[in-house]
């Protein structure tokens, strides 16, 4: 089991950058694939980014591709989401999520992930 705590959210202007962090507990962090998902007001939670256990494979939603970068540091049990060129439509609560997964591949389905953080709010104003 893993516990996740996000940080780094805030209020920014369109075009600004922000980096979210996710601290994971547990000594088997490298056995989990990780994702960042987000939920905008009045909308369903959606996939944003995925990173494999080693960090060698990443996948992004089309809406964030080229602007967001997911990374991880297994030695520190940390996952990051670097967000550049932020847009008002990026406004959402951002969640860090984990799945104990030994196979290759990934999923964009929200329900695929087993563990969730409490979320951190990102607000982008125009």
User: What contacts 19, CB < 8 A, 6 or more positions away?
Assistant: 8, 80, 81, 82, 83
- Tell me the average pLDDT across 116-122: 98
Cα separation of 37 and 117, whole Å? 10
| Residue 102: pLDDT over 80 | no
Residues 6+ apart with CB under 8 A from 23: 4, 5, 7, 77, 78
What would the pLDDT profile of 10-22 be if each residue is shown by its tens digit? 999 999 999 999 9
């Amino acid at each position: 089991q893993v516990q996740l705590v996000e940080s780094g959210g805030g209020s920014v202007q369109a075009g600004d950058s922000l980096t979210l962090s996710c601290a994971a507990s547990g000594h088997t962090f490298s056995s989990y694939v990780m994702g960042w998902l987000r939920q905008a007001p009045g909308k369903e939670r959606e996939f944003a980014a995925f990173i494999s256990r080693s960090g060698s494979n990443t996948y992004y939603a089309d809406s964030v591709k080229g602007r967001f970068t997911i990374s991880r540091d297994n030695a520190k049990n940390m996952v990051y989401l670097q967000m550049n060129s932020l847009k008002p439509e990026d406004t959402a609560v951002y969640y860090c999520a984990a799945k104990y997964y030994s196979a290759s591949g990934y999923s964009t389905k929200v329900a695929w992930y087993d563990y969730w953080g409490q979320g951190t709010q990102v607000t982008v104003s125009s």
